[in-house]
Structure 1
């Protein structure tokens, strides 16, 4: 959860920098389980080791 909060703040900060007011911004994350992703030649992402964790 802290990573997501940081992401939301960073998005708002960057959009404010180009003139979009913070109270006009709505952020929705649509997360899909790794078994629903096909990567690296058609492998399920849950079966591929990236060498690091991807947990946001």
Structure 2
């Protein structure tokens, strides 16, 4: 994901080693684009759970 420009990786030269990851602006754009799909998936799982609990 770093190579694709989605995340920024920052390595700190401390002991124990510490690496911090954060989203790039491009990564945030992707997150916003996928949010509706994630919402749909949650609604779909709720429908499946309701169908399984129905007599």
Whose radius of gyration is greater, 1 or 2? 2
Normalising by structure 2, report the TM-score: 0.31
Normalising by structure 1, report the TM-score: 0.30
* Greater fraction of residues in strand: 2
